[in-house]
Structure 1
Amino acid sequence: MRHVRSIWNGAISFGLVSIPIKLVNATESHSISFRQIHTEDNGRIRYRKVCELEDREVGQSEIGKGYEDADGTIIPITDDDLAHLPIPTARTIEIVAFVPGDRIDPLQMDAAYYLAAGGVPAAKPYVLLREALKRNNKVAIAKYALRGRERLGMLRVVGDAIAMHGLLWPDEVRAPEGVAPDTNVTVRDKELDLADALMDTLGEVDLEDLHDEYRAALEEVIAAKASGEAPPEAPAPAAGGKVLDLMAALESSVRAARESRESPSGAEAEIKPLPRKTKPAPTAKKTAAAKKTAAAKKSATKSTAKKPAPKKTTSRKRTA
């Protein structure tokens, strides 16, 4: 595995066995983030930390923690107060039980991490725990401390590594009360048969084939604006009708799914962009990059012998 910066160093406590490990993130985000800007000149919007009593900006050295009581009273909490908390798992992933994997409700699962062996001496006990989990087809339930609070975790084998999922405490998971329809609904056998047929027709999917189509379309918009071009035009949204007949909707879905499966080209994913607002956007001042691009285009046009340049068409790249 390529080098990844660890976010926590400690040890797995497995009975009397201690396994030095490093905690690294198992996931990464590819989402595109934006900065807030002043629309008149593209200047960054900044937020200042201001004391509401003194009405002045304060530095990081002047900022601490406080708990707000029910009556609005602020109770200061210092780092020394937190340092004396009796957390036995401060630097330890303490295994407390081994259970079958299906005993864990997916609703409890939180962030995912990889546990990397902390050096050569940790290799033997690390592999021992990994193989024991494999042979018994179980997961380990553990307690650990991270970012100032004690947490629950589940250790399982992923390939040749041990992964840990953060778990919510049982009292943090809400019961599904008031979520299901509270009216009496009768589902006919024929409707169930059609639903089964639709599930069979759709079949399985390789998750590697699924992509974030919105992010791909957003990247096209950003690339077009960065090069001084107009963003790709959004296609007119398809007129959607309100489905009132459940049987007709199921039959149409099964028919469409079968046609998609039988199509030689395969079902290509279609990007459905968000509807554009009709309100015209304010005219922003050109950035230095945009001016440079425009100047380069103007220079290239002058160098041609009055030959009209071919009209450039921006087409949307489709993501499978």
Structure 2
Amino acid sequence: MTCEYWASSSVNKTIPIKVVSATEDHAIRFHQVHLEDMGRVRTRKICSIDDEVVPQEEIGKGYELTKDELVPVTDEELDEMPLPTAKAIEIVAFVDADSINPIRISDSYYLAIDGQIAAKPYTLLRKALERSDKVAVAKFAWHNRERLGLLRVRDDAIVLHAMRWPDEIRSPDSLKPKDVDLDDEEIERAVQLTDTMALDDISGFRDEYRDALEELIEAKAEGTELPEPAEGEERETGKVVDLMAALNASVKAARESRGEHGDQDATVHTMQPRKKTPAKKKAATARKTTTKTAAGKRTARKTTTKKTAAGKKRSAS
């Protein structure tokens, strides 16, 4: 693959590159098994018309026009489609990094030079990105799709972030909560919490669930006792969490971890619930009365039904 961009001399620059995944998936995966004999349970591809197993070489692609009509599309037809970015990453613009919505960023890849001849243009592009404080927007093909990408520099390497197209991002307007009453003191306490929990480096965080899962699998494989939860790890469920108390505890713990003492500033203002208005109380009482009446009717119907059924049984006997 190549990376193409226009240099200041108005000459098209082409950099031979290799695309290398920038991330690793360390998730622990399980197979489906038959619990009686631990045999693997496999997925079989069955034709919906003749109920026969279909071999891989007979499986193709089809686009559903309607529920009963499919249009077949072959791999050859897809390969012959005009796609300018089929073998290249084409830089189309340079923009400020802050202008990119983080939600649009997807998987990440390192771009490595493919041969020593690419060293100079690769370094030139990297230096230009560093000095301009901008990121490059690019187009490239991936799995028979044209994708939008973002090029930026991390640790002296050019990183390609796959991006979603603008029309693939949903609007959050319908998710916004209704207006609530907040005073400056409440907002200031929330800001105080962010300050006390601030960190300069988050590289020390680990996937504790995966670590515990590895210990569990190792113990079961060796036939030893299963690891017990560490003290304080068991959590009670079914209780309503007091958010303000949790914030107070977080602020206090953060201060103590930094050697700070004293609770005078480690208190989050508690919001007092508003009392119900008489109208609301009336509505609530009416709802309860209606519910009780409906429940009484249902009970009466059940009793009548049971008595009728019992009468029929006695008559039959």
Considering the TM-score relative to the shorter chain, is it more than 0.5?
yes
* TM-score w.r.t. length of structure 2: 0.75
Structure 1 residues 36 and 243: alpha-carbon distance in aligned structure 2, compared to 1, 3 A threshold: closer
Unaligned runs of 5+ in 1: 1-9, 264-320
Matched, 1:228 2:226: no
Structure 1 residues 238 and 91: alpha-carbon distance in aligned structure 2, compared to 1, 3 A threshold: closer
Shift of 1:201: 1.2
What is the alpha-carbon root mean square deviation over aligned residues?
Answer: 1.8
> CA separation in 1, counterparts of 2:70 and 2:254?
59
Structure 1 residues 11 and 238: alpha-carbon distance in aligned structure 2, compared to 1, 3 A threshold: closer
> CA separation in 2, counterparts of 1:37 and 1:136?
55
Q: Out of 228, 234, 239, which is 1:237 matched to? A: 234
Instruction: Tell me the equivalent position of 1:169.
Output: 165
Shift of 1:33: 0.4
Instruction: Tell me the equivalent position of 1:139.
Output: 135
Instruction: Tell me the equivalent position of 1:192.
Output: 187
Instruction: Tell me the equivalent position of 2:5.
Output: 14
Shift of 1:249: 4.4
Q: What secondary structure sits across from 1:18 in the alignment?
A: strand
> CA separation in 2, counterparts of 1:51 and 1:237?
48
Contact 1:194/1:254 (<8 A) preserved: no
Instruction: Tell me the equivalent position of 1:49.
Output: 45
Matched, 1:206 2:197: no
Farther off after superposition, 66-75 or 18-27: 66-75
Larger-Rg structure: 2
> CA separation in 2, counterparts of 1:189 and 1:167?
38
> CA separation in 1, counterparts of 2:16 and 2:188?
54
Q: Deviations over 1:240-285 (max 9, x none)?
A: 6534574x5433332232234439xxxxxxxxxxxxxxxxxxxxxx
> CA separation in 1, counterparts of 2:129 and 2:71?
45
Instruction: Tell me the equivalent position of 1:218.
Output: 213
> CA separation in 1, counterparts of 2:243 and 2:33?
48
Contact 1:194/1:251 (<8 A) preserved: no
> CA separation in 2, counterparts of 1:82 and 1:245?
54
Q: Structure 2 counterpart of 1:242, which letter?
A: V
Q: For 1:1-320, what aligned pairs fall within 5 Å after superposition?
A: 10-15=1-6, 16-182=12-178, 184-234=179-229, 237-239=234-236, 241-243=239-241, 246=244, 248-262=245-259
Farther off after superposition, 84-93 or 66-75: 66-75
> CA separation in 1, counterparts of 2:208 and 2:246?
26
> CA separation in 2, counterparts of 1:244 and 1:155?
44
Q: What secondary structure sits across from 1:69 in the alignment?
A: strand
Unaligned runs of 5+ in 2: 7-11, 261-317
* TM-score w.r.t. length of structure 1: 0.74
Q: Structure 2 counterpart of 1:191, which letter?
A: E
> CA separation in 2, counterparts of 1:186 and 1:160?
48
Q: What secondary structure sits across from 1:56 in the alignment?
A: coil
> CA separation in 1, counterparts of 2:126 and 2:110?
13
Contact 1:96/1:141 (<8 A) preserved: yes
Structure 1 residues 103 and 256: alpha-carbon distance in aligned structure 2, compared to 1, 3 A threshold: same
Size of the alignment, in residue pairs?
Answer: 252
Shift of 1:237: 3.1
> CA separation in 1, counterparts of 2:104 and 2:210?
28
Q: What secondary structure sits across from 1:209 in the alignment?
A: coil
Q: Deviations over 1:28-56 (max 9, x none)?
A: 01110011111001111111112121221
Instruction: Tell me the equivalent position of 1:276.
Output: none
Contact 1:194/1:250 (<8 A) preserved: no
Structure 1 residues 188 and 115: alpha-carbon distance in aligned structure 2, compared to 1, 3 A threshold: same
